[in-house]
Amino acid sequence: MATNYGPVEIAGVIAVIGVLTYACRLSFIALFGRLDEIPPVVEQVLRFVPAAVLAALVLPSFVTLDASGFAADKFIAGALAAGVAWKTEDVFATMVTGMGVLWVVRFLLPVGV
């Protein structure tokens, strides 16, 4: 899955994402004094950004319904890692569990696709 985009397009994308990301970071830090609080409507919407976006990033990697078919190893590893994430809220423990289970299922059990 290598990209067909050239170096100029890639550099442009990085620059635009970089500027907009920096604008998010600087926004209220720079404005404080003139604008002391996020408008309530904006805050109400923003509150749901992390949960919705992160779940949308995570779930399709664990539950694959695309052309390559359902991957049991990813589903099992994802489910167990979710349990560990819930208990520990620890990035490292979650990663070790997920990768460990993926490799066990993929290399040692006949379930892997």
Partner 1 sequence: MDTAAFRRGVRDVAPLLLGIIPFGLVAGIATVNAGLGLPTAVGLSVVVFAGASQLAALELLGQNAPLTVVVATAVVINLRLLMYSASIAPYFREFTGRWKAVLAYVLTDQAYALSVASYRSDRETDRKWYYLGVALTLWGVWQVTTIAGALLGTGVPDAWGLEFAIPLVFLAILVPAIEDAATGVAAVVGGTVAVVGAGLPLNLGLLVAAGVGITAGVLTESATGGTDGD
* Residue 83 identity: G
Burial (CB count <10 Å: 0-12, 13-18, 19+), residue 46: exposed
42-81 residues in contact with partner 1 (CB under 8 A) are 43-66, 74, 77-78, 81
Query: Shortest Cβ distance from residue 6 to partner 1 (Å)?
Result: 11
Query: How many chain residues are in contact with partner 1, going by CB under 8 A?
Result: 74
Q: Please tell me whether residue 109 binds partner 1 under the rule CB under 8 A.
A: no
Residues within window 77-106 making contact with partner 1, judged by CB under 8 A = 77-78, 81-82, 85-86, 89-92, 94-95, 98-99, 102-103, 106
22 is a site residue for partner 1 (CB under 8 A): yes
> Measured from the CB of residue 81, what is the shortest distance to partner 1 in angstroms?
6
In angstroms, rounded to a whole number, what is the distance separating the alpha carbons of residues 111 and 113? Answer: 7
DSSP collapsed to 3 states, 35-73: CCCCCHHHHHHHCCHHHHHHHHHHHHHHCCCCCCCCCHH
Q: Which is nearer to partner 1, 13 or 109 (CB)?
A: 13
